[in-house]
Chain A
Amino acid sequence: MKRMIGGRIGFLIVLVLLISIFPTTIVMAYSIGDYHWDAAGTTYDISSLPSNWQTQVSAAASSWNGSGANFTFTSSSSSVNDLTQEYRPDDSSIGLSGGYYIYGTNHWASCWTIFNTRYSFSTDGSSGTYDIQSVAVHEPGHWLKLNDVHFWPWESKVMYFVLSTGTLRRTLQQDDINGINAIYP
């Protein structure tokens, strides 16, 4: 009888250990790249954007600055990292962001963001338009090397990969904050 109980307890311990190995990456509702900025901050240039967009982009940058991570965005018209608008009829992205690194290193540098004006934008997420601040809070996540997250029910996270018109998604969720703090502790 003792042997049987011991066997079952042993089986349960092994089972729990095995289960605990696999869901680690699933439970973390953020995804990070394997490269990052060397410095604890960078600048960004929004001078070519309309003034009401600039306000919302700055608010989005402030959200990330307030995440507790060791990284700060600072606005500067002389920055090489710019946010602009461009008409790209053959690109489905509402907003897109890029950056560069040399493969084999993990030193990330020089980023850009484009708001694709094939779509309509607004500063209040009006019906049929994309809210500038909701897009603007997602894109710096890519600058920081947070990747998109794809799985339902993660649609409240700013790094979720799609956005609906008429939707405000401006607030960092705990997983977004955990992600950025994991990269820049």
Chain B
Amino acid sequence: MKKYLCVILGIFCIGFTTIACSNSIESGLANSKPTPQTGDLVQVVGGLLPDYSLDDLINVSDNIVIGYVKEILPAQKGIRKESGSSVIYTDVLMEPQEVLLGEAAQEPIMVRIWGGKVGNEVDMYENEPVFTINEQVLVFISKFTSVRAENSNEYQPYYRVNGGILGKYNVRADRVYNEITGESFVITTLKNKVALLK
């Protein structure tokens, strides 16, 4: 009996230690998810995404890129060209390593995600991917010029991740996996599909 209890307690200790360590490591890195503070006005946005398959993601994307998250810029307020409505966005700079689809991208690639913290206003989008400094990612992206910074009249180009959380994968050796859906595939499989579909 004592032996069994020791084994179970041992497993739990290892589990809790692992969770505690991973949390402390994570908290030491900058990521694109805003952190509200008491008294902030928080807007939470959820929604419904298209049920994109891998083939769909390839078809709707201008570029498919593997690279590292280099920098996460401070959030800004922007204005939408089509409706004039405002949006808080965060630009993520990505150092490309390999371009699987599309032209060799500018360096670094600027991926724009909705949400961020400006003053005491915080926008949180549940369907937007979260990027962490130094993580290696594969993204399905397209270029747009639909949102300008509030303090500028020019619509500078930026990339958006197609399918929101569906279009960002983490890279592990020769495989990629999606943290939300758990979907995983070998990069070579993706390259073959791209060659077939594009």
Which residues of A approach B to under 8 Å, CB–CB?
Answer: 6-7, 10-11, 14-15, 18, 33, 86-104, 119, 135, 138-139, 142, 147-148, 150-151, 161-165
The dominant DSSP class at the A interface is mixed
The 9 nearest A-B residue pairs measured at CB: A96-B47, A93-B47, A104-B38, A7-B1, A90-B144, A98-B45, A162-B51, A103-B36, A142-B46
State the majority secondary structure of interface residues on B: mixed
**Which of B17-25, B80-88, B187-195 touches A?**
B80-88
Q: Which chain B residue shows the least CB distance to A87?
A: B82
In the complex, the answer to whether B44 meets A102 with C-beta atoms within 8 Å is: no
Query: Are A91 and B40 in contact, with the CB atoms below 8 A?
Result: no
Residues B46 and A100 in contact, CB atoms below 8 Å apart: no
B65 close to chain A: CB less than 8 A = no
Verify if B50 is at the interface (C-beta below 8 Å from A): yes
Please report the C-alpha to C-alpha distance between residue A7 and residue B8 in the assembled complex, in whole angstroms: 14
Instruction: Quote the shortest CB–CB distance from A163 to chain B (angstroms).
Output: 5
Residue from the list B42, B161, B167 in contact with A102, Cβ < 8 A: B42
How many interface contacts (CB-CB < 8 Å) are there between A and B? 122
CA distance A148 to B146 in the complex (A): 27
Residues of B within 8 A of A7 (CB): 1, 4
Chain A residue numbers with a CB within 8 Å of B43 are 98-100
| Residue in chain B with minimal CB distance to A86 | B83
Checking A90, A147, A162, A164 against B160 with a beta-carbon cut-off of 8 angstroms, the contacting residue is A90
